Amino acid sequence: MTGTFTGRSPAAEASPEAPGLSEPSKGLTVVTKEPYCAETPLPELDTWVTPTERFFVRSHFPVPHLDVESWRLIVDGEVDHPLELSFADLMRERTRTVVTTMECAGNSRSSVYPPAQGVRWHHGALGTARWSGVSLWDVISKAEIRPAAIEAVFEGADHGREPGVPEELSYAMSVPIVKAEHPDTLLAFEMNGEPLTASHGFPVRVIVPGWYGMGSVKWVTRISLIDHSFRGFFRTKPYTFIHEGDDPDVLRKPVTSLQVKSVITWPPEGATVAPGRIVVRGAAWSGEAAISRVEVAVGLPDDSGEGGTWRPATLLGPETPHAWVRWEVPIDLERPGYFVLRCRATDERGDTQPLRAEWNFRGVANNSMHAVPLIVRRSA
């Protein structure tokens, strides 16, 4: 642990773009003000670890401002010994640090056609951070979890109303026990070596590596072990694969692991470059497998996603289980003109990216190939 706990969320000047937030969001693009959702422009994602102040923020409700002294974590449900833990109790456990890529399930929704319901993220609800905390299982297993428990439900201190729901809701999401048991699933209190900021979950959040961000519940105050599939609003409505014609009352496949995906972080979309060789750079990730291959092509794709010549990119280090890999590939663009670059990643299971992902009503888990238009100017 490198941060220092003062009992308060780190002080910083208020951002005019983030009502109710006590921290700035430098260089982020605000997508919705209430709740506060802001994304990272792709050129700002051109490093392995994303600086905290450039890390996307997804809020469902107003950001709660919690106090570390009074914060408590309840562990209940299918347990023999329910717990109520303080922050000091957590600090007695062995700390663990993981670097994970986090992507919002709604990332890249803005280009989904037909238009999908939800925050209209471009591609920047995405980032990689170094999270420190304690293994979730080390903490909750002390409650003596009963064999009947099949899921752990994380509940945050953030709450409010959702359209069509009569009562007030807290944000809550579940994971299967097998994910809760994984030592890299954390109760995290540090991000990139500093205490969590208010908008990233101070004082304690869950980190579920390999999953879309909806599982990494911020401001966590309760963990309930349950003997059935969680049917809370956020699990069954926004974070689920709903297809055309589906009955609203039938449960669909939930959104869980990150699909294989890649983005071009340089050059920026619409950039003008000089003729000659450019080095195209980016990131690639997949929730449950390592990336085996990234390719870049120049030219508009045909309907199958082919068109142009795919060139293999070099995968750069470091290789870690839960973080994206950086990649780069030199591309020769000798002739002035308007061009389109696109990239696709393939993982060790053989999963790869489609030209356009299968449509779903919420526009979640969109891993369509990223395409970057580019102008090659005439040389001076």
Residues within the interface to its own copies (CB under 8 A): 110-117, 120, 122, 164, 242-249, 269-270, 272, 299-300, 303, 335-340, 342, 356, 359, 361, 368, 371-373, 375-378
Least Å distance between CB 338 and its own copies?
5
CB of 250 to its own copies, least distance (A): 9
User: With respect to its own copies, which residue has the nearer C-beta, 94 or 378?
Assistant: 378
In the complex, what is the shortest distance from the CB of residue 157 to its own copies, in angstroms, rounded to a whole number?
28
- For the bound state, the minimum distance from the C-beta of residue 356 to its own copies, rounded and expressed in Å, comes to 7
Per the DSSP assignment, residues forming a β-bridge with 225 are 77, 152
Tokens of residue 89, six digits: 């109790």
Q: How far is the CB of 330 from its own copies (least distance, A)?
A: 20
Copy the structure tokens of residue 47. Answer: 């490093």
**Is 117 or 141 the residue whose CB approaches its own copies more closely?**
117
CB of 345 to its own copies, least distance (A): 17
Residue 149 or 376: the one with the smaller Cβ distance to its own copies is: 376
Helix, coil or strand: residue 124: coil
Cα-Cα-Cα-Cα torsion 313, 325, 111, 55, nearest 10 degrees, comes to -140
Amino acid at 320: T
CA distances to 78, 91, 293, 341, 380 from 277, rounded to whole Å, are 60, 52, 22, 14, 16
Please report how close the Cβ of residue 336 comes to its own copies at its closest, in angstroms: 6
Cis peptide before 176 (omega within 30 of 0): no
Residues 6+ apart with CB under 8 A from 275: 333, 334, 335, 336, 376, 377, 378, 379
Strand partners, 130: 99
- Phi, psi values for residue 231, rounded to 5°: -115, 25
Between 108 and 346, name the residue whose CB sits nearer to its own copies: 108
Q: Is the dihedral of CA 219, 197, 185, 106 positive or negative?
A: positive
Nearer to its own copies, 97 or 111 (CB): 111
What does R_g of the chain's alpha carbons equal in angstroms? 21
Q: Which of 208, 341 has the CB closer to its own copies?
A: 341
Q: Which is nearer to its own copies, 172 or 357 (CB)?
A: 357
